[in-house]
Each structure stands twice: as structure tokens, then as C-alpha cells.
Structure 1
Amino acid sequence: MEYLVTMTTHVPDGTPGQAVDDVRAREAAHSRDLAAEGRLVRLWRPPLQPGEWRSLGLFAAADAGQLQQTLASMPLKIWRTDQVTPLAPHPNDPGPGTRPGRSGTEFLATFVITIPDGTPRQAVEEAEAREAVRARELADQGHLERLWALSGHRRALGLYRAGDSAEMQAIVKALPLDPWMTAELTPLTPHPSDPAAVSSRDRRKP
């Protein structure tokens, strides 16, 4: 199972800078180990306020208990609080490693679909079928990287890549389910310990 974890770090006042640097170095090394073991899949930075220290991590674990063991093993946990969001399989998920490479910014998109009362069932099924086709097209184009179901009725989380916010907004507005959907977009910036970035750097080494 996969989980999205929002990790917020608060370093106590008066903590020596060297101590912070040491913990961060151990965190980076441990993140590489977790990635090699398949437990840490991705890491990102969301938009941050000045002085804010927060990361988003995509983790894989057999269950919630194993995830908590993974999170507890991370050196920064001594100063960190974690918010865990379980991610369930989505029928339109292209799956990891199936997309072509594309430059641009990654976005997390949280979707909530509300079907108006009285909408014919056939209209819903046709829109959902067109949504599945469009998801495959976006994956083939390198825009849709992953898609998960969230707890609650008709809620989903997508990982997308686009040239900028305007292009990402256009992608969402063109989705067949957009007339019944609200979307919250979070732009992501690279994290130095992101397994995908580390793997890319390793491939470029002579």
C-alpha cells in the first residue's frame, strides 16, 4: 500500500547549528537506504512560508504499522510531526515507471467529484469512460504520473507534470469530469533526497 505523508519539522530554539546539520546528514543517508529498500518512493517540497520546514513523502508499506516503523526510524523524527494520508488503487492509475520523461513542474491535484442529483446514470458512466481514456492519453504524454483513490466518496489524488500552473489548470479544465469536479492544485519543487532525483543523478555518472 502507498501513503502520502506530510512531514513538518520544528527544531527547538537554541539547538546548535552543527546538531541540525548532523541530523540532516543522517536523514539524507537514511532516505537513500529507505529508497533502496522500496519503502521511500518520492520526496517533494510543497510551497513554504519563510522559515517553514515541511516535506511531502510518498511511502510504500504493507500496512499502517509498518509505515509507522519506517517513519520512526528517520533521524528527523525527533523534531517532526507527520500527517498520513492512505492512498488506495485507482482504476485509471498508469502505474509507476510507465510514463515517458517530461520536463516541467510536478503538481499534486486533489479531486472531489459531486454528481448533481437527478443526473442520469448513463451520463455518469459515459463521462467516467471518457475520463479513463483521457487519463491514458495524459499518461502517454507524460502529464499524468500517478493517480490514487482517497477515502471518502469520489475523491482522488493525482500526480501530474506540466510546464507551469497555467498549463496544469488547462489540463484539469479539459478533463471530462471537470463540470462535476473541484480540484486543489499543489505545485511541488524538487527535494534533494528525492529517490527519483538521486536515481537520475546516478544514471548521469560516467
Structure 2
Amino acid sequence: MEYLVTMTTRVPDGTTEREVAEVRAREAAHSRELAARRRLLRLWRPPLGPGEWRSIGLFDDEGPDALERTLAAMPLRVWRTDVPAELAPHPADPGRGEVPIAADSEEYLVTFVADMPSGTGPGSPAESKRVRDMAAGGHLIRLWTLPGGGRGIGLWQAPGAGRLREILRSLPMAGRSTVDTVPLTRHPSDPAQVT
């Protein structure tokens, strides 16, 4: 099962820079081990405010308990809180590793909350075809459904935010769903290969 985990770290007051550097080095080494075991698939940084220290990770684990064990074993967990979201397969997901990550593009997590009449939602033939076209064009990397019905989240790439807006406006469900876009920056420990 795949999970999107928002990880927020708060270093306690009085912690030395050396202690922080040591824990971060252990975290990076452990992230490489998780990637080698195919538990950590991707790692990003969302936009950060002053003093914030957050990451978003895409994990693959055997279930919620196994994911908790994986997260608890990470060195930064001593200072970090994790909020996982279970991802369910979307019928139009291009599939893991099917769409290459382009070096000249920016990545975005886009959450859709559908408000559509029956037969026109994310699973409609027109929407499915357009989503397949977006994957074939290298814009949609992955697509999942979220718990709660009518909610989906996709990992998209585009040369910039303006181009991504154009792409999203071209979807048949545009204007009939609420869209939340989070720009992502690749984390230094991201295991993904960029082409």
C-alpha cells in the first residue's frame, strides 16, 4: 500500500547544531536504506515558512502498522510528527515508474475534490482519456484516490506553475471540482531518478 506522509520536525530548544547534523546524517543514511528496500519511493519539501522544517514522503508498506514501524525507526522521529494519508489506486494512474521525472520540470501535488453529476466524475470516459493523454505527455506522474469519496491526489510535473494551471484547466472536470496545488522541491534524500 502506498502512503503520502507529511513529516513535521521540531528541534527542541537547546539542541546543538552538531546534534542536529548528526541526526540529519543518520536520517539521510536511513532514507537511502528505505529507498533500497523500496519502502521510501519519493521525498519532497513543500513551501516552508520561517522556522518550518517539513517534508512529504511517498512510502510503500504492507499496511498502517508496518508503516508506523518504518516511520518510528527513522532517526528524525525523535523530533518529528508524521501524518500519513493512505492512497488507493486510481483507475487512471499511469503506474509507478511509467512516466519519467523530467529534470527541467517542477513537481506539484494536486488534490481534487469532485463536485460533479453522475457519469462525469474522475472515472468518466472523457476524464480517463484526458488523464491518459496527460500521462503520455509526461505531465501526470501518478494518480491516487483518497478516503472520503470524490477525492483524488496526483503528482504532476510542468515547466512552471502557469503551465500547470493551463494543463489542469484542460481537464473535463475543471470548474466542477475544488483544486489545491502544492509546489514541491526535491529533497536531498529523494530516491527518484531524474531524466
Runs of 5+ consecutive residues of structure 2 not aligned to the other structure: none
Contact 1:128 1:177 survives alignment (8 Å): no
Contact 1:41 1:60 survives alignment (8 Å): yes
AA of the residue aligned to 1:133: K
Contact 2:26 2:75 survives alignment (8 Å): yes
Query: What is the CA-CA distance between 1:31 and the residue it aligns to?
Result: 0.2
Alignment of 1:15-164 (within 5 A): 15-102=15-102, 103-115=104-116, 119=117, 121=118, 124=120, 128-164=124-160
Deviations 1:144-203 (A, max 9, x none): 00000000121000000011111111111110111311100000001000001xx45xx9
Query: What is the CA-CA distance between 1:126 and the residue it aligns to?
Result: 10
RMSD value, Cα: 1.7
Contact 2:114 2:122 survives alignment (8 Å): no
Query: What is the CA-CA distance between 1:14 and the residue it aligns to?
Result: 0.6
More helix per residue: 1
Runs of 5+ consecutive residues of structure 1 not aligned to the other structure: none
Whichever of the two has the greater Rg, that structure is: 1
Runs of 4+ in 1 over 3 A off after TM superposition: none
CA distance 1:65–1:180, shift in 2 (3 Å): same
CA distance 1:85–1:101, shift in 2 (3 Å): closer
Contact 1:100 1:140 survives alignment (8 Å): no
CA distance 1:47–1:126, shift in 2 (3 Å): closer
AA of the residue aligned to 2:111: T
Aligned residues: 194
Query: What is the CA-CA distance between 1:101 and the residue it aligns to?
Result: 4.5
TM-score with structure 1 setting the length:
0.90
Query: What is the CA-CA distance between 1:100 and the residue it aligns to?
Result: 3.8
AA of the residue aligned to 2:19: A
Contact 1:127 1:177 survives alignment (8 Å): no
Once residues 142 and 64 of structure 2 are traced to their aligned partners in structure 1, the CA distance between those partners, rounded to angstroms, is: 21
Percent identical pairs in the alignment equals 52
